[in-house]
Amino acid sequence: MEAITITLNGVEVSGHPGMTILELARESGVDIPTLCYDPHLIPIGACRICLVEDERSGRLSASCVTPIEPGMVINTKSPKVMERRKMILKLILASHPDTCLVCDKGNRCELRKIASDMEVGLIELVKIPQLATIEEVNPFIERDLSKCILCAKCIRADHELVVQGAIEYINRGFTSKPATLNDEPLEKSECTFCGTCVAICPTGALMETKRPYSGTTAAIVSTICPFCGCGCNIDLEVKDNQIVRARPGKGSTVNRGTLCVKGSYGFDFTRSAERLTSPLVKVNGDFQVVSWEEALGLVASEFKRIKENYGSGSLALLSSSKCTNEENYLLQRFARSILGTNNIDNGSRLYSAANIIGLGSPVGFPGTTNHLDALEQSDVILVTEVNLTSAAPIVEYAVKRAVKYKGAKLLLIDPLQTGLSSFAHLWLRPKIGTDIAFINGMARVIVTEGLLDEEFVTRKTDNFEALSSELERYTPEYVEQVTGVPSDDMRHAAQLFAGATTASIVYGAGITQHVTGTNCVMALANLAMLTGNIGRRGGIYALQRDCNGQGACDMGTIPNLLPGYQSVEDTESIKKFADCWGTSLSADVGLTAVEMIEHAKDGKVMSMYIMGENPVLSFPNSTLVKEVLESLDFLVVQDMFLTETAKLANVVLPAASFAEKEGTFTNFEGRVQRVRKVVEPLGDSLPDSEIVLRLANSMGCPMPYSSLQQVMDEIRDLVPLYQGIGYGSTETKGERRDELDRDPFRNRRLYKGQFPSGFGRFSPVQYEPPVEIPGDEYNFTLLVGSILHHSGTGSKTSRSPRLSEFSPEAYVEIGPSDAEQIGIGQGDEVKVISPLGEVTTVVRFTTTLPDGVIVMPNSFSSTPVNQLFDIVLDPLSKTPALKACAVKLERI
Amino acid sequence: MDKTVETAKPDLKQVDEILSRYQDQKWPLIPLLQEVQDEIGYIPPEAIEPIARGTGLFPVQVQGVITFYEQFHTTPRGKNIVRVCRGTACHVRGGRTILKIVKQNLDVEEGETTPDMNFTLETVPCLGTCFLAPAMMVNKNYYGKLAPPKVRNILQQYDNAGD
Ligand code: SF4
Ligand code: SF4
Ligand code: SF4
Ligand code: FES
Ligand code: FES
């Protein structure tokens, strides 16, 4: 492509064809004011404030929509431009209320900024009366459309970025405004309160409401959202050591100007009155406030005593998929080198551990194989058993964008209706627990109809013969009989998937939280390899529930794997770490999360250290979990809140929130991103890393780090995946640049067309009928899932004033005809009873459920659904089945 | 939007039927809306969702188009549409009285429909027949040089029509 040269304010500059004058001007450091332009949106040239003059013709044009042409002589500030721009500005201001002084948009208002830059006062024209504020009762967004300048940015963000379709202009002329369907308040519309439109609105027309703290922003700090595994970049605005608001991080290729409701509004949990602010020690059943020295001294002496009396194997540690990489790294080093045990696991065991073997063994790397951008470029996207709306909102946006604007075809495999159903080219609803049969059926069609990518299969994979013979059973007729999906539809799905140039697969906990989770992941990996969609284009997207689920595993808080998935049974790996840490290390595989409980029950584990996890709410059979934790010789819980688990502890250590510490999170794509301190830790709380370091000191075995940077340096040296990653030149004053983000995927060889071991290995897996089949007594299948406004067990989100106001309690969804049969109505209180336990909740009708299936959210401490599940582990991943169980309903 | 008139639920089957006629083809929105309006007489709000599905648009986008064009109506309209001119030429020749007479006769305000669904009253800025001022239209017929008795006669004509 030839570069195009133009003259810009007397200077020659060049850009590439297709670039607009505005883009080239910004690149060249020339400022042109804009109101309706945003780099994430398709420009529409509506406001005309960005006018420039072509001096050759004297023509004025809107620079945001005018492409550069050779020989242009552009003046961005000619008298003619300035005069016209002022006129336009005055016209906009004429219909704008004089409330600037009290408007909360304050200095962020682009209209006000432009007016003051151009020295235009507010009242020079006769005012046009404006529409009134809309009555809204949601705790997130308030609209004052009298301040609307009709730039359509909110509408375009809603359609082009988050693809929700909640708002659009209504009417025309003076009464035109952005509105929901039937002009209802937002809470009665399709709006998800993602906050994207609020962040992009150039005026005070759209604002956040119920801010935890008001005031003019004094500083903006870029960091990472602490909720789901998507890893959205957020900019936190601060004043007086308080977070004022969160906005989508500028320039992020992860979330591209968007967030979800949790990222935009959920940070207010950090100032919850329930935050722990000092260490607590239980004396005669009551907690007493103590100093850090006292608390850590007690923990150190107890750990030493237990280790000496019962051996290292009697200690077990649960690390957190919500803590940073550095914190996870430190805790596993503490466990392995100081306590001498591999009994360390992290919270992602409960939802994504199936990836470790399920992807690790066929593909060679236990995680997502390509980046989000490549997902959006796919021709066919297979989404299996995951409600992206709640589990991974920005992945949902990407899928919807691909379908709506890029012609991608969505294959949705889910018995339940989700936000993506209306976007699906084909929505297939196999019976619960029959996914393996379905996916194998697709694979068989691909093999028997010769639709596979033969070159890829021959050159890049092995074990194909075994796979194809094992697939024999999965004839379309058999698969139809097992899954209930018509064989023609299944075949159509297979043909579509195999026929695509690039096809991607997205899955989450709906696959991995079943007893057969690991096998199902392998079935998906087979499908991707058969069609050549791995290691070069397309890919497998394994979602993570928590902000650092991927990183915690990468960091080796896993009982059989050292950091970087290096086996504890491999003498060379063990030696590498032992040498670095200057100790000997155990080569015995440790216990996974739920096994710790089982061993504690048998008296083999005497003491546990739990960092940032809440097993009483997250593990199956909570009654047992509670009993066991209570009966431990010594329990330490490190958390921000006095969770159900912390209440059982002997010592509670108060941890700082994500906004109060430094470090890195690794998102589900494998992108390592920087978490930054925004405000000081609350009270006496400390970052988890600091607590672990101090504890090591108290044990008399200090770990040799004087900064987190040194921890990351060590990780870089010992973990091949993190090679080249470092804090780099991050903390220079003013602009913060991150070496970290420059090439986030450089070490993931999968992105470059190679399997780490050279070959992908097909792993045939068989369908087994689900164990959760309902019977005569327990006649419903309960599915448990996440909801948009909460995450995990809700320990953070239930303490976010705004999120919990909007979504205060659990419910059970049931189809009206099922409900009628057992005589319950909408809003009735019911007991949901399994052989193991019961919970009480209220009934909500949902017309789209399959017969005999009911659904409950998992994030409410007042309705602990985990109580209903018995401990049944996937034999390979040791993940407890927490997705489906047989229950009955009783009206109260 | 138009004032609401209580009526029976519209028959959405007609909308589905129109959509199904062109099932596999991407619908251009405006002709589709016109067809729905021609067949049902107006565009029932309940039709917005199916129309959105048929056209691959968001329901709010369909609403946006409907509310942008004056030709589209979201409430049922009478069998006969009376449009009284409010233009300058008509105004100076007593257009206001004409409007008043029509209102009295039909017992509705502007934008409203008679309970028997026979008439909907609208006003327009100019009918383009200023030489006939004061003027009005009923359906596609022009009536000019109006005076109160003439108005009553004209309306009566339409009242009986079809009985
Ligand atoms: S509400 Fe804000 S973003 Fe939306 S059109 Fe009005 S000024 Fe623009
Ligand atoms: S908050 Fe999000 S979903 Fe709601 S209108 Fe704005 S962009 Fe759309
Ligand atoms: S919860 Fe997930 S999708 Fe929502 S803002 Fe945070 S990282 Fe992004
Ligand atoms: S910014 Fe160019 S027209 Fe609005
Ligand atoms: S003013 Fe009435 S027809 Fe023109």
pLDDT in tens, B109-150: 988 889 888 999 988 888 888 898 899 999 889 999 999 899
Find the residue in A nearest to B44 (Cα). A182
CA-CA-CA-CA torsion sign (A69, A71, A75, A78): negative
ipTM of the complex: 0.85
Whole-angstrom Cα distance, residue A743 to residue A635?
A: 42
What's the pLDDT score for residue A728? Answer: 59
Ligand 1 centroid to Cα of residue A525, in Å, is 45
Instruction: Read off the pLDDT of each residue in A425-450 and give the average, rounded to a whole number.
Output: 96
**CATH number, domain containing residue B112:** 3.40.30.10
Residue B24 lies in a domain: yes
Contact B45, B74 (CB under 8 A): yes
**% of chain A at pLDDT higher than 70:** 95
Q: Do domains A4-94 and A280-349+548-672+681-704 have the same CATH topology?
A: no
Ordered by start, the domain boundaries in chain A are 4-94, 127-269, 280-349+548-672+681-704, 354-542, 780-891
- In this predicted structure, the answer to whether residue B71 has a pLDDT above a threshold of 90 is no
User: Domain spanning A780-891 has what CATH number?
Assistant: 2.40.40.20
Whole-angstrom Cα distance, residue A311 to residue A306?
A: 7
Residue B46 lies in a domain: yes
Of A31-35, A124-128, A267-271, A625-629, where does mean pLDDT reach its minimum?
A124-128
Q: Are B68 and A159 in contact (CB < 8 Å)? A: no
Whole-angstrom Cα distance, residue A836 to residue A850?
A: 24
- The alpha carbon of residue A166 is apart from the nearest alpha carbon of chain B, in Å, by 7
- In this predicted structure, the answer to whether residue A756 has a pLDDT above a threshold of 80 is no
How many other C-beta atoms are found inside a 10 Å radius of the C-beta of residue A459?
10
- In this predicted structure, the answer to whether residue A364 has a pLDDT above a threshold of 90 is no
Categorize the per-residue pLDDT at B161 as very low, low, confident or very high, splitting at 50, 70 and 90: low
- The alpha carbon of residue A407 is apart from the nearest alpha carbon of chain B, in Å, by 12
Q: What is the architecture, at CATH level 2, of domain A4-94?
A: Roll (3.10)
CA-CA-CA-CA torsion sign (A621, A624, A628, A629): positive
Whole-angstrom Cα distance, residue A34 to residue A63?
A: 9
Using a CB-CB cut-off of 8 Å, the residues of chain A touching B67 are 170-172
Residues B92 and B135 grouped into a single domain: yes
Categorize the per-residue pLDDT at B56 as very low, low, confident or very high, splitting at 50, 70 and 90: confident
- The alpha carbon of residue A378 is apart from the nearest alpha carbon of chain B, in Å, by 20
What's the pLDDT score for residue B10? Answer: 61
Residue B3 lies in a domain: no
Tokens of A503: 């096809």
Residues B97 and B147 grouped into a single domain: yes
Residue B6 lies in a domain: no
Whole-angstrom Cα distance, residue A384 to residue A371?
A: 18
What's the pLDDT score for residue A743? Answer: 58
- Residue appearing with tokens 């059943």: A285
Whole-angstrom Cα distance, residue A837 to residue A119?
A: 69
Which ligand ends up closest to the CA of B90? Answer: 5
Ligand 4 centroid to Cα of residue A119, in Å, is 19
- In this predicted structure, the answer to whether residue A784 has a pLDDT above a threshold of 80 is yes
B68 lies within 8 A of chain A by CB: yes
Could you say which residues from 103 to 142 on chain B have a Cβ atom under 8 Å away from some Cβ of chain A? none
Q: Ligand 4 site: residues with CB under 6 angstroms?
A: A 34-37, 45-50, 62, 64
Using a CB-CB cut-off of 8 Å, the residues of chain B touching A170 are 63-64, 67
Residue B121 lies in a domain: yes
Q: Which one is the CATH code of A127-269: 3.30.70.20, 3.40.640.10, 1.10.510.10, 3.40.50.620? A: 3.30.70.20
Residues B129 and B88 grouped into a single domain: yes
What's the pLDDT score for residue A128? Answer: 57
Q: A233-239 and B119-124: which strand pairing?
A: unpaired
How many other C-beta atoms are found inside a 10 Å radius of the C-beta of residue A58?
10
Q: Are B58 and A171 in contact (CB < 8 Å)? A: no
Contact A198, A265 (CB under 8 A): no
Residue after which a domain boundary falls, among B68, B98, B114 = B68
Q: Are B60 and A166 in contact (CB < 8 Å)? A: yes
What's the pLDDT score for residue A218? Answer: 86
Q: Ligand 2 site: residues with CB under 6 angstroms?
A: A 157-158, 162, 164, 166-167, 191-197
Q: A607-611 and A634-639: which strand pairing?
A: parallel
Which residues does A822 contact at the CB level (< 8 Å), separation at least 6?
A889, A891
pTM reported for the whole predicted model: 0.91
Instruction: Read off the pLDDT of each residue in A866-892 and give the average, rounded to a whole number.
Output: 92
Contact A319, A306 (CB under 8 A): no
Task: State how many domains chain B has.
Answer: 2
Q: Are B67 and A181 in contact (CB < 8 Å)? A: no
Whole-angstrom Cα distance, residue A363 to residue A760?
A: 5
Residue B7 lies in a domain: no
Residues B96 and B155 grouped into a single domain: yes
- In this predicted structure, the answer to whether residue A741 has a pLDDT above a threshold of 70 is no
If one residue of A38, A134, A138, A158 were mutated to test the ligand 2 pocket, choosing by the most ligand atoms within 8 A of its CB, it would be: A158
Residues B86 and B150 grouped into a single domain: yes
Three-class DSSP category at A805: helix
Categorize the per-residue pLDDT at B6 as very low, low, confident or very high, splitting at 50, 70 and 90: very low
Average pLDDT along chain A:
92
Q: Which of A165, A171, A190 has its CB closest to that of B67?
A: A171
Give the closest residue (by CA) to ligand 4 atom 1: A34
Which numbered atom of ligand 4 lies nearest the CA of A37? 1
CATH 1.10.150.530 fits A354-542, yes or no: no
Residues B101 and B149 grouped into a single domain: yes
Which numbered atom of ligand 3 lies nearest the CA of A547? 7
Using a CB-CB cut-off of 8 Å, the residues of chain B touching A171 are 67-68
Give the bridge partners for A409, in sequence order. A380
Categorize the per-residue pLDDT at A290 as very low, low, confident or very high, splitting at 50, 70 and 90: very high
Which numbered atom of ligand 5 lies nearest the CA of B125? 1
Domain that holds residue B108: 80-160
User: Which backbone phi and psi does A17 adopt, to 5 degrees?
Assistant: -55, 140
Amino acid making up residue A502:
T
Tokens of A220: 């903006």
Q: Are B64 and A168 in contact (CB < 8 Å)? A: yes
- The alpha carbon of residue B150 is apart from the nearest alpha carbon of chain A, in Å, by 36
What's the pLDDT score for residue A734? Answer: 34
- In this predicted structure, the answer to whether residue B5 has a pLDDT above a threshold of 60 is no
Instruction: Read off the pLDDT of each residue in A837-860 and give the average, rounded to a whole number.
Output: 93
Q: Which one is the CATH code of A280-349+548-672+681-704: 3.40.50.2000, 3.40.50.740, 3.30.750.24, 3.40.50.10190? A: 3.40.50.740
Three-class DSSP category at A567: strand
